[in-house]
Amino acid sequence: MIAQISAYRIGSGSLTPISGESLVSNLSATGEYLWLDIADTPGEEGLNHLEKVLGLHELALDNLFDTDRNPRLLEFEDHILLGARFIKSGPDSLELSTIGIVLGKNFLITAHEDKPEIISTILARASANSNQVLNTGPDRLLYLVLDTLTDHYYEILDELSEGIDAIDDRASELIQKQDVVLQRDILATKRQLLAIHRAATPLRDALLNLRRTNRFLISETAELYLRDVFEHILQLLETVETYRDILSSTTELIMTAASNRMNEIMTFLTVFTTFFIPLNFITSYYGMNLVMPEARMAVTYPVIIALLAAIIAFMFVWFKRKRWL
């Protein structure tokens, strides 16, 4: 797959697309920096060009385009590599994709597979916040990228929260019947929450480690904004854990309701069977193929019927007092 590289020159309140051939001249411009957005992995020639022009470390290039490895943070002499995850909505579940980010003194690189919609969102936010992003350095653009990822997590979490409320309402009605679809929805929602947790956790760790990186790459102002993103990530993870606890409680409610229902059925069947134990004994006794003196008496039949009814009535009252019914 051929890599697509989008290059932008940022500075003096403007964001201008440029060609790849003019990277060297734009890197030396005073008061400006570059944003390179790379979709898919470039060939060997493209990697060598990035290494030569931007001075990237070999490990930075290897990890920048390694989408199978867990995101992490690596610090080099004059640039920082960190990874994050963004979430794509699949047909049946949420899919995770990795975005690699390199922060340099006068450039920022974002690398990913395909062309995700979140990059267009970042570009739109950068253009809309010209005073905050286009007049500062690449560290402020880094904040914008991470903040957009965090907002993206919250958008998906808000959608899931509505589904969790619906699940909770349906579980409250699960007293007389089981809902297999509901249990399947709970499992699917748990998997989606796990996807959000897996996406946000590396970003939390990266932001935490950023506090111990090269100070000249991140200004005090940008550090303040990155700390705000870090607090949002912590709040997001706490919310995810809360929702997971709610779903776990709902699952326990479903299992308890099913167990109680099974106990009610077994109790009914046991009591129903118990009623017939003395009845079966009496009917079996008189059903023997023997000549019994009382069998010739006219009152024997109604007396036995009355005895059977009395036994049933007695057992019913007794079970009621014992609260077995």
Strands in 14-18's sheet, in edge-to-edge order, are 14-18, 4-11, 33-39, 107-112, 94-104, 79-89, 73-75
Spatial CB neighbours of 64, under 8 Å, sequence gap ≥ 6: 56, 81, 100, 102, 109, 111
Residues 10, 85, single domain; the answer is: yes
Residues 82, 207, single domain; the answer is: yes
Residues 189, 286, single domain; the answer is: no
Residues 161, 192, single domain; the answer is: yes
Residues 229, 271, single domain; the answer is: no
Asked whether the beta carbons of 27 and 107 are under 8 A apart, the reply is: yes
User: Quick one: pLDDT at residue 213?
Assistant: 65
User: Quick one: pLDDT at residue 227?
Assistant: 86
Residues 80, 211, single domain; the answer is: yes
Asked whether the beta carbons of 34 and 107 are under 8 A apart, the reply is: yes
User: Quick one: pLDDT at residue 296?
Assistant: 72
CA distances from 217 to 63, 208, 214 (A): 20, 16, 6
User: Quick one: pLDDT at residue 178?
Assistant: 55
Residues 155, 131, single domain; the answer is: yes
User: Quick one: pLDDT at residue 23?
Assistant: 62
CA dihedral 116, 121, 124, 129 (to 10 degrees): -140
Output phi, psi for 207, to 5 deg. Answer: -65, -35
273: CATH: 1.20.58
User: Quick one: pLDDT at residue 114?
Assistant: 81
∠ CA 313-318-322, rounded to 5° = 150
Q: Shortest CA distance to 93 belongs to which of 188, 194, 201?
A: 188
Asked whether the beta carbons of 98 and 71 are under 8 A apart, the reply is: yes
DSSP characters for 121-141? HHHHHHHHTIIIIITS-HHHH
Strands 79-89 and 94-104: antiparallel
Residues 240, 292, single domain; the answer is: no
User: Quick one: pLDDT at residue 56?
Assistant: 86
Domain boundary among the residues 208, 235, 257 is at 257
205: CATH: 3.30.460.20
End-to-end CA distance of the chain: 71
Domain boundary among the residues 257, 284, 306 is at 257
Q: What is the enclosing helix (H) or strand (E) of 228? A: helix 220-286
Residues 189, 163, single domain; the answer is: yes
Tell me which amino acid residue 85 is: R
Domain containing 25 equals: 4-257
Q: Walk along the chain (325 residues) and give the pLDDT tens digit of each residue.
A: 577 888 888 877 778 888 765 565 556 566 788 888 888 878 777 778 788 888 888 888 888 887 767 777 888 888 898 888 888 776 667 888 888 899 988 889 998 888 888 888 888 888 887 666 777 788 888 989 999 999 988 888 888 888 887 777 776 665 445 566 777 788 888 888 888 888 888 888 888 887 766 567 788 778 888 888 988 999 999 999 998 888 888 888 777 777 877 888 888 888 888 888 888 888 887 777 767 777 677 787 788 888 888 888 888 888 888 777 7
Residues 137, 195, single domain; the answer is: yes
Tokens found for residue 132: 């905050």
Output phi, psi for 175, to 5 deg. Answer: -100, -40
How many domains does the chain divide into? Answer: 2
Domain boundary among the residues 204, 238, 257 is at 257
Tell me which amino acid residue 306 is: A
Residues 171, 288, single domain; the answer is: no
Residues 296, 227, single domain; the answer is: no
Distance, in Å, from the CA atom of 155 to the CA atom of 157, rounded to the nearest integer, reads 5
Output phi, psi for 8, to 5 deg. Answer: -135, 135
User: Quick one: pLDDT at residue 1?
Assistant: 57
User: Quick one: pLDDT at residue 28?
Assistant: 55
